[in-house]
Amino acid sequence: MSVPAVTAEWNCTRCGSTNRKLVPADTARARDRCNHCRAWHLVEPDDRPVRWNARLDD
């Protein structure tokens, strides 16, 4: 049995690129790197299921 996964979609606060990361459904916080400018971000779920909040994690 596999763990349900959700797509965490977040906007880079540095360059504005949209990034997507597949995470386990019960994830409360994830760390991901922007595909464009390579800046590390902390991403957390918002009220909406797909769009996550992101902030720089330097």
Among 15, 22, 50, 56, binds Zn ion (CB under 5 A): 15
The reply on whether position 12 binds Zn ion by CB under 5 A is yes
Instruction: Lay out the sheet containing 40-45: strands in order across.
Output: 30-33, 40-45, 52-56
> For residues 46 and 28, is the Cβ–Cβ distance under 8 A?
no
Measured from the CB atom, the residue of 24 and 36 that comes closer to Zn ion is: 36
Name which of residues 27 to 56 contact Zn ion (CB under 5 A).
34, 36-37
Separation of alpha carbons 58 and 55, rounded Å: 9
Give me the residues that bind Zn ion (CB under 5 A), please: 12, 14-15, 17, 34, 36-37
